[in-house]
Amino acid sequence: MVIKTDTNLLTAALDRVVPPVGDLPGAGGLGLAEEVIKRSAADFRFQDALTTVLGDLPSPDDFLALDEDGQDDALRTAESSHPDAFGLWLDVVYTVYYMQPEVHQRLSWHGRSPQPEGNIMPPWDESVLGVIRQREPFWRKV
């Protein structure tokens, strides 16, 4: 169960984990805390990880009162306390962040498998086999 104050804490933590870049806000500034909470609720492993990480951080008021270095220190403490949970939480945060269209735009990435049009590749060119075709068979006879 994640409560409102946790959302504020999570938003602040997300901005330290995936900070702003260029004109793009950090993961917290993009408003992804609610999305992380929602997606985590769908899988008990993700939910456990989120709860563990939030539980390892200072209270929301205390965390928000810290400067950026202090917040990073608190996150590093949580990471060293429960590395597996922190890692899984990080995986969820990253994956949710890289689902966002504005992030895709910044990376010049299409955002998903382009169906049905697909991608373009140069056609198969047999001349690339020129060197290896000269090699004698070398499989081991039995």
Closest to other proteins by CB, 1 or 137: 137
What is d(CA 69, CA 110) in angstroms, rounded to the nearest whole number? 35
What is d(CA 105, CA 55) in angstroms, rounded to the nearest whole number? 34
Among 3, 41, 45, 83, binds other proteins (CB under 8 A): 45
> What single DSSP character describes residue 128?
G
Residues in Cβ contact with 112 at an 8 Å cutoff, skipping those fewer than 6 apart: none
- Torsion 47-51-53-54 (CA) sign: positive
Convert residues 82-111 into a mask of x (bound to other proteins by CB under 8 A) and - (unbound): -----x--xxx-xxxxxx-x-xx--x-x-x
Among 1, 67, 84, 138, binds other proteins (CB under 8 A): 138
Q: Where along the sequence are the contacts to other proteins (CB under 8 A)?
A: 16-19, 21, 39, 42-43, 45-46, 72, 75, 87, 90-92, 94-99, 101, 103-104, 107, 109, 111-126, 128-129, 131-133, 135-142
